[in-house]
Amino acid sequence: MIKLQRKNSTSPAKEDEVNEEEKDVSFLPVNVQDFFLTMGGLTKFTGQFFKNVFKPPFEFNEIFKQAYNLGFKSLFLVGLSAFIMGLVLTLQVKPTLVDFGAESFIPAMVTISIVREIGPVLTALICAGKIGSSIGAELGSMKVTEQIDAMLVSGTNPYNYIVVTRVLATTLMIPVLVMYADTVAMLGSFLGINLDGDVSLSLFTSQVLSAIDFSDLVPSFSKSVFFGFAIGIVGCYMGYNAGEGTVGVGKAANSSVVVASLFIFVIDLLAVQITQFFI
């Protein structure tokens, strides 16, 4: 009886402490609380990735498979978008430059714009919508159908096989897709110039190559690597921690696109600031 009374006497104090802790964060909106919880969980998830990336077994076959599925199968969509981007950008700036008598600067201006900024960001956003959502939905389905739990029971490390392989695949393939998109965008720009003009391919190519500097390629390639990592890690986190049922899978796919797109803009902002500081 004495023990029971002691438990009852301490329980109201504990309840008061819990209520005080809840009041400490109750002033924050629910969306803000969810945002900080997501960022905290994503940070922990990223740390777990770096702990497991160098641990055997190394699933090279799965990495190549995911690189093919996530990268090669995105070539058409990325290429079509890049071609239209280069064509439209040329058609938009051409009348203005013609008025100033600077039509000869169109290839250089379009090239610098695409290589430095438009190509990497647009390609990353397209891949965030296609690749990020597919990773989130795939891992969410595996979580809902308890396939990940089955891998744990069988002694397989699901993190190495599912997460590490996909993150490495996106980190490797997004820079490749960006370089491919830049090249196809140049072809679109060449077509835009020749719709009502006559510029040879050799002259256009020489102007493009003379406009590009090494300081343009390095920042573009570097931030593309971070874009790919962000798309992969966000998609895997959202899918790996998806809720139950088909609703959880849908939310995982949607959240993967939204958060990855936000990360792309933040990384791009930081990359621009760092580039201006060092170059």
Model confidence at 149, in pLDDT bands (50, 70, 90)? confident
- Respond yes or no on whether the N-terminal peptide bond of residue 107 is cis (omega within 30° of 0): no
Instruction: Identify the pLDDT of residue 89.
Output: 93
Could you tell me which residues come within 8 angstroms of residue 93 by beta carbon, excluding any fewer than 6 positions away?
106, 109, 110
Residue 49 predicted with pLDDT over 90: yes
Residue % of the chain over a pLDDT of 70: 90
Residue 8 predicted with pLDDT over 80: no
Instruction: Identify the pLDDT of residue 6.
Output: 40
- Degrees, nearest 5: CA angle 189-100-111: 25
pLDDT tens digits along 170-193? 999 999 999 999 999 999 999 998
pLDDT tens digits along 58-83? 888 999 999 999 989 999 999 999 99
Residue 213 predicted with pLDDT over 70: yes
- Which range, of 2-11, 28-37, 102-111, 196-205, averages the lowest pLDDT? 2-11
Residue 235 predicted with pLDDT over 50: yes
